Amino acid sequence: MSELLFYAMAVIALLGGLGVIFSKSPMGSVLSLLGSFFALAVIYLLAGFHFMAAVQILVYAGAIMVLFLFVIMLLNLGGMGTRFELSAAPLTRARSQIAAAVAAGVGLAGLIAVQRASLPRIAQGGAPERIDDINQIAIALFGRYSLPFQAVSVLLLTTMVAVLVLAKRRTRESGQ
């Protein structure tokens, strides 16, 4: 039963990915990506990562995709009317074939790598029901990985400053 659900969700995640690429409007892309993220969250749940599933929905669906939607709406507002489409003109045939070949190559390389490499499998038998224990994650995050943790927090601060500088409308200086 849960196996079936896994494969169904895998298919939805891949379809969502396709939807991102081939939808006409950016809004459609956002919704497809959202569907893909939800399917991934369900997969995380099934694979025993309850916390990561919640984080996936909280951060990706609840924050990052909202940001995308927000920018699309803002640009719609700045454009001419609400129907202003933001989609790009199609590429030439040759270039898109090259792109498809590259993507297929990357995917195939990954598949072959997983198939060929005898992955060091420590867990014999079934994986545990619940893998991401919050206490253990916290201990790892604030113990062994406290340096990257602090680096990431500095990155977030830098991002905040950078975004403010980039998005601030310059009113008094020259230019716009």
Partner 1 sequence: MNVPSEHLFFLSAGLFSLGVLGFLVRRNVIVTLMCVELMLNAANLAFLAASRMHSTPEALDVQGPVFSIFVITVAAAEAAVGLALVIALYRLKQSVESDSASEMKG
Partner 2 sequence: MEVPLPLIWLVKIVVIFGGLVSTAALMSLAERKVSAWMQYRIGPNRVGPFGLLQPLADGVKFIFKEELIPAGANKFMFRLAPALSAAPAMLTMAVIPIGGTVVLGEYSIPLSIADVDIGVLFLLAFSGLSIYGVILGGWASNSKYSLLGGLRASAQMISYELTLILTILAVVALEGTLNLRTISENQQHVGEWNIWTQPLAFVLFTITMFAETNRHPFDFAECEPELVGGFHTEYSAMRFALYFLGEYCAMTVLSCLNATLFLGGPSVPFWPEAPWFVGIAAFCLKAGFFLFLFLWVRWSLPRMRFDQLMRLGWKVFLPLALANLLITGGFIAFGAH
Binding site for partner 2 (CB under 8 A): 27, 31, 34, 50-51, 54-55, 57-58, 61-63, 66, 69-70, 73-74, 76-77, 82-83, 134
CB of 25 to partner 1, least distance (A): 10
- Position 17, amino acid: G
The binder of 31, among partner 1, partner 2, none, by C-beta within 5 to 8 A per type, is: partner 2
Q: Which does 57 bind (CB under 5 to 8 A by kind): partner 1, partner 2, none?
A: partner 2
CB within 8 Å of 161: residues ≥ 6 apart: none
Among partner 1, partner 2, none, what does residue 66 contact (CB within 5–8 Å per kind)? partner 2
Q: How far is the CB of 49 from partner 2 (least distance, A)?
A: 11
CB of 149 to partner 2, least distance (A): 15
CB of 108 to partner 1, least distance (A): 8
